[in-house]
A and B are shown apart, each in its own frame.
Chain A
Amino acid sequence: SQTIHQWPATLVQPVGSPLSLECTVEGTSNPNLYWYRQAAGRGLQLLFYSVGIGQISSEVPQNLSASRPQDRQFILSSKKLLLSDSGFYLCAWRDRGRYEQYFGPGTRLTVT
């Protein structure tokens, strides 16, 4: 069966520090991968999606970036965090033969 992992689970970082969040999927090949941010009282905001290794589409211009170095690995990064980057970050995957997404456990990021 398929499994999706995210780490770390929680992170507290100072403003201006770098960020690296990692997501890996097991049990599937060549999935579509997504990064979302969820703020309290708001819907999930799509940040990036990827249809293959090295193929990244950005939905929101900001100081975040994403990379997909391997088929089932998706990384969210920032060189300098802002206070507004605080939130709950979710990674999701989708099998190419189906339409539903499956989400990871999330990372709670607090920028201080």
Chain B
Amino acid sequence: EDQVTQSPEALRLQEGESSSLNCSYTVSGLRGLFWYRQDPGKGPEFLFTLYSAGEEKEKERLKATLTKKESFLHITAPKPEDSATYLCAVQASSGTYKYIFGTGTRLKVLA
């Protein structure tokens, strides 16, 4: 069964304290892995798509990496405005249109 597990569930960082969020996945052939940022009461905002192991994408203080079993979202020198829930999702290459989402990591960055 296709599955996505994110850890930790919640993370508190001091401003400037770098860390990583984990997304472990089990899927019958990966078409793509997606990272989103979601602020309270709003829809998820697309961040990155990763297609194959070894691929990396960067945007400002965020860097996403992918292996055959997991993805990491590295946050370098975070600021309070990076506080949000970060969601990971996968799409299998089995021909369906479905996306499997994790439950997210709630990140709080303290000033």
* Chain A residues near B (Cβ < 8 Å): 6, 32, 34, 41-44, 46, 49, 51, 57, 59, 90, 92, 98-106, 108
Contacts and interface: CB of A to CB of B under 8 A. Distances in A.
A98 B49 CA distance: 10
A46 B42 contact: no
B42 A101 contact: no
Given A42-B103, A43-B104, A44-B101, A99 B91 contact: yes
A34 B91 CA distance: 14
Interface in B3-58: 4, 31-32, 34, 36, 41-46, 49
A100 B50 CA distance: 10
A30 to B, nearest CB: 14
Contact of A106 (B43, B101, B103): B43
A103 B87 CA distance: 13
A54 B49 CA distance: 29
Summarize A's interface: helix, strand, loop or mixed.
Answer: strand
Contacts of A46: 98-99
B76 to A, nearest CB: 23
Contacts, number: 54
A102 B46 contact: yes
A65 B30 CA distance: 30
B107 to A, nearest CB: 16
Nearest to B97: A49
Contacts of B87: 43-44
17 contacts: A32-B97, A41-B103, A43-B87, A43-B101, A43-B104, A44-B87, A44-B99, A44-B101, A46-B98, A57-B97, A90-B43, A99-B31, A99-B32, A101-B34, A101-B89, A103-B46, A108-B41
